[in-house]
Amino acid sequence: MSNLHKALDEKLVRVGILGATGTVGQRFITLLSNHPWFIIHALGASPRSTGKPYAKATNWKQTTPIPSNVREIIVQECKPEHFKDCAIVFSGLDADVAGDIEGAFRAADLAVFSNAKNYRRDPSVPLIVPLVNDFHLSMIPQQQAQHQPPLQKGFILTNANCSTTGLVVPLRALEKSFGPIEACFVTTMQAISGAGYPGVSSLDIIDNIVPYIGGEEEKMEWETLKILGGISEEDGQKAFDMHSRYPLRVSASCNRVPVIDGHTMTVSVRFSRRPPPSPQQVREALVAYTPAARSMGCPSTPVHAIFVHEEPDRPQPRLDRYYQDGAGVSVGRVRQCPVLDIKFVVLANNVSIGAATSSIINAELAVLKGVVKLPIN
Amino acid sequence: MSNLHKALDEKLVRVGILGATGTVGQRFITLLSNHPWFIIHALGASPRSTGKPYAKATNWKQTTPIPSNVREIIVQECKPEHFKDCAIVFSGLDADVAGDIEGAFRAADLAVFSNAKNYRRDPSVPLIVPLVNDFHLSMIPQQQAQHQPPLQKGFILTNANCSTTGLVVPLRALEKSFGPIEACFVTTMQAISGAGYPGVSSLDIIDNIVPYIGGEEEKMEWETLKILGGISEEDGQKAFDMHSRYPLRVSASCNRVPVIDGHTMTVSVRFSRRPPPSPQQVREALVAYTPAARSMGCPSTPVHAIFVHEEPDRPQPRLDRYYQDGAGVSVGRVRQCPVLDIKFVVLANNVSIGAATSSIINAELAVLKGVVKLPIN
Amino acid sequence: MSNLHKALDEKLVRVGILGATGTVGQRFITLLSNHPWFIIHALGASPRSTGKPYAKATNWKQTTPIPSNVREIIVQECKPEHFKDCAIVFSGLDADVAGDIEGAFRAADLAVFSNAKNYRRDPSVPLIVPLVNDFHLSMIPQQQAQHQPPLQKGFILTNANCSTTGLVVPLRALEKSFGPIEACFVTTMQAISGAGYPGVSSLDIIDNIVPYIGGEEEKMEWETLKILGGISEEDGQKAFDMHSRYPLRVSASCNRVPVIDGHTMTVSVRFSRRPPPSPQQVREALVAYTPAARSMGCPSTPVHAIFVHEEPDRPQPRLDRYYQDGAGVSVGRVRQCPVLDIKFVVLANNVSIGAATSSIINAELAVLKGVVKLPIN
Amino acid sequence: MSNLHKALDEKLVRVGILGATGTVGQRFITLLSNHPWFIIHALGASPRSTGKPYAKATNWKQTTPIPSNVREIIVQECKPEHFKDCAIVFSGLDADVAGDIEGAFRAADLAVFSNAKNYRRDPSVPLIVPLVNDFHLSMIPQQQAQHQPPLQKGFILTNANCSTTGLVVPLRALEKSFGPIEACFVTTMQAISGAGYPGVSSLDIIDNIVPYIGGEEEKMEWETLKILGGISEEDGQKAFDMHSRYPLRVSASCNRVPVIDGHTMTVSVRFSRRPPPSPQQVREALVAYTPAARSMGCPSTPVHAIFVHEEPDRPQPRLDRYYQDGAGVSVGRVRQCPVLDIKFVVLANNVSIGAATSSIINAELAVLKGVVKLPIN
């Protein structure tokens, strides 16, 4: 057994969580409390929570109790010195503070896995959906080298917007089997938990739809290109190519609906290849899709990256969002589209694969690929 | 003042309602109880309700009380002899019985305005959204002549599916201003009242989305062509042309959401004309659209056939569905589409313009155009 | 016709609204825009809204559009000088600012009708549910005399908590017919609109009940005594007697439920009189109850102060909250209670009779009784 | 190790499920698929499902997939011959068929654990909430002896109504510590799943409360007496005493609310003992309560029969219903009651402890007490 796997088995990988009292932070804690490799070592939150045991500092809103090994951890300020023993720092910070804090953590040579949007458009920061574009990890050395002074261990890596995540997993599976997609139409019906807590006022969403989520459509239309695109290299400098070799147009219409967890989307795509694949070929390609994270043995990766439903009325968020602890993506109703080629329905659990679960698998990938430096001999 | 308008002012137009105890029937009663021209004369329902005063026969689910002038009307069986004094018969019957009953009423020379789907695909039956294609009324004489023996007064005229109705109103406004639409993408988020009562189980829809409504996508994709298409004539025979001179592809994805009333849709369209109109031109064309029903003076027609919202987060079903008693259509978020040309959001009140209100305006149109024969000298 | 009624008919009564951009303020505007006597003259809100036309200053959340005669009124700061021409000032202010502002308005000799809780426990301020205890208006002269210097026109009068309001209307009807009630058990199921906007987070209430509303049970248990109690007089000083001649114990359990408007309550009461009235006697007493506001001709008073439902499953908030524009109270399921005497269900529309409507009827009462001084010779 | 425990460890206890395709049946299957003692051997349903593999016969509505070891079991008619190898038969049948079928199974000498209401009022059938009155199992021999011919193994045992179950657990804990309760007031807010599938129409419950559930209040008021009462014996004949030595008056008001799972109740009680216990004493008694099923080692019994919340706003159904897989009862807000003695809030998961989980623990108890005869040596 390698030193690496020995260290993992002994749970020697200490992790910290920024924004630990918030919605995403609570989800990180729930998921990490039983993680086979990682052990929660430090929790950071805003000044009004610091100095208190976690159980007193948080307004816990999960349906399982606070893990007992976390209740008494004293919440710290989000300053690098409190996290210096953490090989991995997960960030569930809000966008209004994430930029500065995550930057300071990277400058202190810490490895940050962020759920915030602040660095997603940074040309040296990978935007990784772990079931899709793990190979973007190869950008990390360049990010570290660009820093003054160059970083040894520190970097920032982000995961994608929750709605983007659900979209790119099946799109990647289709591009892998059938080549480039040219156009994609997506209408989302997004859960309230995507807006955090307190988030959406009940007066705005009970018996209602809000056909607008600020900035969301732009994120989906842009992030999809960065994630599904490759990395070009010129004069030794790497760059994300934004799917530019095969231009892809994405049109997103985003809606908030009275669903607690789980983003549902209607998706339609047009392939470059003529004739396009049949619905049955698409179903088979989706079922067969196995991401690298799975073959490499990342423990939080779902068995079925994509579960394809055969019943005509599935996936449904309330029934299907918990499958595989929300780590996979559900697809249903694969059929021909009269305007583009193929249309289908996607469901992704926005608080799992759409948020904390993705960060955790990204960290698992980074550990296995040696991007995260562990304190082993 | 003409004899016609005199008769209307004196409320001499007796109307009957089939399926009077159901959801659509209750809506007909609510809307007709204060109608300036029509007076409710007969109510029909299934045998278990017949013989009782209406207030005893129905499980009233409207938010206003049963109109006092209707409470004591004795419910009849749905047989033509009980409706022979009605110049107009509105049908809110379920599809499983509407075919036979409506056919029998037409055969008895009664004018039937149906909300059911049974005759919508009949090549001699107009499928009319009153804010869109009133000129399809011109098919009625051929329908009457084809009958054996030819009918003097009887015919069947249907209104459209509730989700189709919301779509075709803005599409018609756009085609009127900018010429043919080639392609249309629509994703619906449909209210539970569209499924009738008891309809959707609460266990299926609270905290949930059902991404499937049986037959709904086919209806939207087909009915849109019949409604937006013209009437061709060959050898003296008229036929609905299904928009065939300018082929139109419609792709619909229909979802049930936990909203009580009001179907919301995201819509994207591609025009034949190059360059396509700008979002601002589209907004202006929608605002300016005035259907014939308005200029002719149909009393149930809304002042604004299409209300265009400027706020980024409107229309919302809970806030906007009651505007103009639900007789108009709301549009918002008109903007460019990266895949087709223009995209926007539509809201239509499925129980008003999407159902009973459409039938009533259709009847008003038919009266004003002389298609309905009134008992006036 | 008296000068008073002449002035009323000519709509010479100018009114102002404090907190005009909030939830209660919007409701005041909606109700007052068509009032037969009152005309909206001034609108006050927090500094960030002042100087703007109302339509720009507010985030309108009502299901009817902003009344056209209000859209362009410039919002003022909540200072008495901007309201000096108002014979009546309605306050929809939040409790955190209502105390100081309403006090300043009274000191400036303005008549304030408040929806806030701040002065409800003040021993010189009447707490009036207009369908119940209008005679508490007789405390106003003492309140004015106690002020330094004594006030000519100014005073503060409050209405009750929304849940208290629904409870005391039937209790008053029962005490009027059957004498004192000794004990009352009430469990509320309160709508989210009772918490204002944004108020209750959707994550806290969709698919959920919150069995706690801060301070609400204490309010119901205390306010009920002040409202149902009389006024004692000793040495020329009047005092609210808190129902002390016939001690009344009230036990309230308050819950928040996923309902938009309308507070539902299960109520059980024990009478002093033995034997207690039968359920049928109770029903008849509730139906027969006519408050003074009705006999005096207050225009916003409902025809039926209490509507008694006979169907076993009514009242229901969604179906019954709009009846009489929410100005009355609905009672159903009157039956014997195995523990106390009689139990029943109450529904009151918290945003109508539970808030703005009560303030408006209180003002109508105060005008008719001459407590509000109108600028008429 | 005893033969009994050996048989249990080897999972030799074959069980059958009647009504296996319904809501309660699906819950039985989910819970039993991993049971340490029981193995699902036969599934019964209505004729339209028989002959099909379970996965084809059911419209599965659980949030976890159909257990793989059940998918292929062929569904049988609900006839005793198909269940003759089952030591235990669980019944999730609807009341309209449960009476005859369960009677026939008993007559065929089968042990039936029923969730239906049909036999609850039978004077020889125990009505057992397993955390409360397991000692009522002692009635089984008399039930068997009364049968013609006397039964060897067959009997019927029922669990309680879902709302009764949540009430009697804390009441039993309080009577155990403080002696008889004289009066109890309870208002329920019951989840839609309590009505089965399709059950409550979404049009009746979204944005609404229905203040009536047919027969529910009578069940709560009557069942509570049978469960909390003892067994009297006269002339060798046992009888349930209905708490008659210390008369107990229960007043229930039952409401349906838009919550998927979990019945919430406000409860107030009056003790015989004067002075009554303090809120703190009540909290301690609730926490300390340990039912016999726990001490005897029934594997489905929760660790905490009653969990007492200290936060003022708990328990909440969405957050607390899954705790301990819904097998316990949550209590919160223990405080003094101005009318009776003590009031508090109760939450019980109606589909777990309120239904299938109770039946399963009842069966576990019956096995351990030798009431169920196992096929060992």
Q: Residues with Cβ < 8 Å from A145, sequence gap 6 or more?
A: none
| Per-residue CA distances from C286 to A298, C170, C243, C342, C346 (Å) | 69, 7, 21, 13, 11
Residue D131: closest CA among D324, D321, D329: D329
Q: Name the average pLDDT for chain D.
A: 96
- Identify all chain B residues contacting C323, using CB atoms and an 8 Å cutoff: 65
B212 closest CB neighbour out of A210, A318, A333:
A333
Best of B190, B200, B202, B321 to substitute, by most chain D Cβ atoms within 10 angstroms, is B202
Which residues of chain A register pLDDT less than 70? 1, 376-377
pLDDT tens across C94-150, in order? 999 999 999 999 999 999 999 999 999 999 999 999 999 999 999 999 999 999 999
Closest chain B residue by Cα to residue C324 = B64
- Asked if pLDDT for residue C377 goes beyond 60, the answer is no
What is this structure's pTM?
0.96
B308 CB-side CA count, 13 A: 19
- Please list every residue in chain A whose beta carbon sits closer than 8 Å to the beta carbon of residue B316: 204, 208-211
Neighbours of chain C (3+ CB pairs under 8 A): A, B, D
Q: Sheet of C263-271: strands edge to edge?
A: C249-256, C181-190, C263-271, C342-348, C329-336, C306-308
Residue in D74, D60, D61 with CA at minimum distance from that of residue D261: D61
State residue D142's pLDDT score.
Answer: 97
**Do D110 and D84 contact (CB within 8 A), yes or no?**
yes
Strand bridging mode D88-91 / D111-114:
parallel
Q: What is the mean pLDDT of chain C?
A: 96
The answer to whether the beta carbons of residues B358 and B165 sit under 8 Å apart is yes
Annotate A188-209 with DSSP letters as a single string: EEE-GGGG-SS-SBHHHHTT--
- For chains B and D, CB pairs below 8 A equal 56
CATH 3.40.50.720 maps onto chain A at: 3-161+356-368
User: Cβ–Cβ of B318/C63 closer than 8 Å?
Assistant: yes
Q: CA-to-CA distance for D163 and D92, rounded, in angstroms?
A: 17
From A78, A263, A298, A309, active-site residue: A263
Among C41, C243, C263, C309, which one carries the catalytic annotation?
C263
Tell me which CATH code domain A3-161+356-368 carries: 3.40.50.720
CA-based nearest distance A347→chain D, Å: 14
C212 touches chain A (CB under 8 A): no
Considering only CB atoms, B201 lies closest to which of D202, D207, D258, namely D202
Chain A CB contacts of B315 under 8 Å are 211
Please tell me if residue B63 touches chain C, with a CB cutoff of 8 Å. yes
Residue C316 contacts D, CB cutoff 8 Å = yes
Q: Do B207 and D260 touch (CB under 8 A)?
A: yes
| pLDDT of res. A307 | 97
Distance from CA of A61 to the nearest CA of C (A): 9
Closest CB to C63: pick one of B61, B64, B322: B322
Closest residue of chain D to B62, computed from CA coordinates? D203
Question: Active-site residues of D: which are they?
Answer: 162, 263
Q: How far apart are CA D252 and CA D66, in angstroms?
A: 37
B27: nearest Cα among B349, B365, B315 = B349
Neighbors of chain A with 3 or more C-beta pairs under 8 Å? B, C, D
- Is the pLDDT reported for residue D376 higher than 80? no
- D182 and C CB contact within 8 Å: no
Within an 8 Å CB–CB cutoff, is residue D212 touching chain B?
Answer: no
Q: Which of D207, D78, C250, A363 is nearest to B259 (CA)?
A: D207
CB-CB: which of D63, D206, D323 is closest to A319? D63
Token match 């038919």: residue? B366
* Residue B311 contacts C where some CB pair is shorter than 8 Å: no
**Assigned CATH topology for domain C162-349:** Dihydrodipicolinate Reductase; domain 2 (3.30.360)
Within an 8 Å CB–CB cutoff, is residue C3 touching chain A? Answer: no
Band the pLDDT of C4: cuts 50, 70, 90: confident
**Å from A206 to nearest chain D CA?**
7
pLDDT of residue C6 exceeding 90, the answer is: no
- Sign of the dihedral through C-alpha B128, B132, B138, B142: negative
Cβ neighbours of C201 in A, within 8 Å: 197-202
Nearest CA in chain B to C60: B319
Within 8 A of A184 by CB-CB distance, chain B residues are: 339
Check residue A1 and give its pLDDT: 59
Q: Where do the CATH 3.30.360.10 domains begin and end in chain D? A: 162-349
Whether residue D258 and residue B197 make contact (CB cut-off 8 A), yes or no, is no
Of D63, D207, D323, the CB nearest to A207: D207
pLDDT beyond 90 at B304: yes
Substitution target from D59, D63, D316 for chain A, most A beta carbons within 10 A = D63
Look at residue C375 and tell me whether its pLDDT is greater than 80: no
What is residue B1's predicted lDDT score, i.e. its pLDDT? 59
Mean pLDDT score, D198-222: 98
The single residue of B162, B184, B254, B298 carrying the catalytic annotation is B162
The verdict on D146 touching B (C-beta cutoff 8 Å) is no
Task: Select from C369, C360, C368, C374 the least CA-distant residue to C141.
Answer: C369
**Could you tell me the two tokens for D362?**
């009842």
The shortest CB-CB distance from B199 to any of D193, D201, D205 is to D201
Query: Is C255 in CB contact (< 8 Å) with chain D?
Result: yes
- A377 part of contact set with chain D, CB < 8 Å: no
Predicted confidence at residue C1, as pLDDT, reads 58
Q: Sort out which chain D residues have CB atoms less than 8 A from A207's CB and list them.
A: 206-207
Separation CA A259–CA B259 (nearest Å):
11
Contact B251/D at CB under 8 A = no
Number of A/D CB contacts below 8 angstroms equals 24
Pick the catalytic residue from C78, C86, C162, C254.
Answer: C162
* Candidate from A210, A264, A332 with C-beta closest to B316: A210
Output the pLDDT for position B2: 79
CA distance A62 to chain D (A): 7
Q: How far apart are CA C337 and CA C331, in angstroms?
A: 15
The answer to whether the beta carbons of residues D66 and D57 sit under 8 Å apart is: no
Transcribe D186-220 into DSSP letters: EEEEE-GGGG-SS-SBHHHHTT--B---TTHHHHH
A321-374 pLDDT, tens digit each:
999 999 999 999 999 999 999 999 999 999 999 999 999 999 999 999 999 988
Q: What is the pLDDT of residues D45-91, one digit of tens each?
A: 999 999 999 999 999 999 999 999 999 999 999 999 999 999 999 99
Interface residue C193 vs chain A (CB under 8 A): yes
